[in-house]
Amino acid sequence: MGDIVAVESSPGHDVGTVSLAGELVKVQMKKRKITADHEDVKKIYRKASQKDIDIWQAARAREEETQRRGREILGRLGLQMKLSDVEFQGDGNKATFYYTADTRVDFRQLIRDLASAFSIRVEMKQVGARQEAARLGGVGSCGRELCCSTWLTDFRKVSTSAARYQQLSLNPLKLAGQCGKLKCCLNFELDTYLDALKSFPKQDVVLKTEKGLAVFVKMDIFKKHLWYTYKEERFKWFKLTLEQVQEIIELNKNNEKSISLEEYESEIEIPETVNFEDAVGQDSLTRFDAPKISKRRNNRNKRKKKPAVVGANPVKNNNQKPQQNRRPKPKQNPNQNSRSEAKPKVRTKPKAKPVAKTNQPKPKQNSKSKQNPNQKNNPNQPKAEGTKVNKPRRNNRNRNNNKPKDGSSSPEK
């Protein structure tokens, strides 16, 4: 098995691989009802030489390009057919074009164009949708390779009744295969379902109870459970066993009504589900990883202002951004604060003569928005006595010169 041999063909010869030998060949021929003198049985000439193998491989390499150019010719002629595959003969003198079409197609002109384009003998062969999928191959919805392209040889008819017997939803998207037809695997377990359904009652049987009539909804074949609901109250379904349903049907045959479905449902024992504990437990896989620290939170903590201590000088933070449009504060005279603390007395506004302006900058009135943030956050911080923060002060030097020595408040005239 596995040897490459040259076999008879018309015309010329073809190249193939031995896939079966011995008594199994007779079994397969008997299964397909083929005798030894049948016309489909070809003679084996010899074992293929290296020259035969090289010609065969060169012919197979031309198949893809031939198929592409054949589709271009097909589109130019405007024929309602689909070219699915091209297969060259082992000697490279003949090519078989496989196509699918819904109606009869006149492709005589197509054969002439293909023969002149490739200089070979052309044979057209129509196949069905299932045969096309078997030749092209693919992967089904189950995740395995298509059955028709691996081991399935006979394509039986599949009907929607096979899906109904197996309690499947009649959704064409789920029931259809790659070929667009119903899946062949619907027939695989059909006999098992039919055997199991022999003991089940028909779905059109109506149960007569004391509460009313009950109709069938659905069933679980292998667990032997059936669901019924009342005709007048269809919002609730009642799960019954197969024995309970058969008991109700026997009572109805004797013209007797059974008890309500609620009482039957309460008699069903629900088996306890065994939960197996995991040796690892429910811990997370990332429980040993270091926690991630966000950089934004660190930056926010750095930008926070430190609380000022009472009686201490505020510490300037280098990371703090300078406030925009903030004017510099004028420097106060240190002797001014000491003198005001020593003599805290009420000053009246004297009517002084206009004095020439000096080069000292005039202090601006401080607003609440331009106060020191540390001073604003600490309202308990003591203020200097005799000083008014919000009032601008005049030049003390000029005021003392205008004051008389005898202590009178009136200026000199």
User: What does the pLDDT look like over 126-138, one tens digit per residue?
Assistant: 999 999 999 999 9
Pick the more confident residue, 151 or 320: 151
Residue with tokens 């070809």: 42
What was the pLDDT predicted at 397? 56
Report pTM. Answer: 0.56
What local confidence, expressed as pLDDT, does residue 316 receive?
Answer: 46
pLDDT, average across residues 390-408? 53
The residue with greater pLDDT, 195 or 348, is: 195
| Residue 267: pLDDT band with limits 50, 70, 90 | confident
In whole angstroms, give the CA distance from residue 118 to residue 99.
18
Which pLDDT value is given to residue 64?
93
List phi, psi (to 5°) of 20: -150, 145
Residue 328 confidence (pLDDT): 53
- Which residues have C-beta within 8 Å of that of residue 1, sequence separation ≥ 6? 18, 19, 20, 21
pLDDT at position 297 is: 62
Range in 66-80, 116-130, 378-392 the model is least confident about: 378-392
- Domains along the chain? 4-49 (no CATH), 57-135 (3.30.300), 136-195 (no CATH), 200-266 (no CATH)
Q: Contact, 11 vs 92, CB < 8 A?
A: no
At residue 155 the predicted structure's pLDDT band, cuts being 50, 70 and 90, is: confident
Query: Span 231-236, mean pLDDT?
Result: 89
- What's the pLDDT tens digit per position in 280-339? 556 667 777 877 776 666 666 666 655 555 554 444 444 444 444 455 555 555 444 444
Rounded distance between C-alpha atoms, residue 120 and residue 196, angstroms: 58
pLDDT-wise least confident of 97-106, 190-199, 365-374:
365-374
pLDDT tens column, 40-64: 888 999 999 999 999 999 999 999 9
Residue 269: what pLDDT?
76
- Structure confidence by residue, pLDDT tens digits, 212-229: 999 999 999 989 999 999
Q: In the structure, what pLDDT confidence band is assigned to residue 266 with cuts at 50, 70 and 90? A: confident
Strands 225-230 and 44-47: unpaired
pLDDT of 346 higher than 60: no
Q: What is the pLDDT of residue 250?
A: 93
The rounded percent of the chain whose pLDDT value lies above 70 is 68
Provide DSSP, 214-242.
EEEEEEETTTTEEEEEESS-TT--EEEEH
Average pLDDT over residues 162-168: 91
The pLDDT tens digits of the residues spanning 357-372 come to: 445 545 444 444 444 4
- What is the overall mean pLDDT for the chain? 78
User: Where does the pLDDT of residue 401 fall: very low under 50, low under 70, confident under 90, or very high at 90 and above?
Assistant: low
Q: CA 351, 357, 361 angle in degrees (round to 5)?
A: 115
207 has a pLDDT exceeding 70? yes
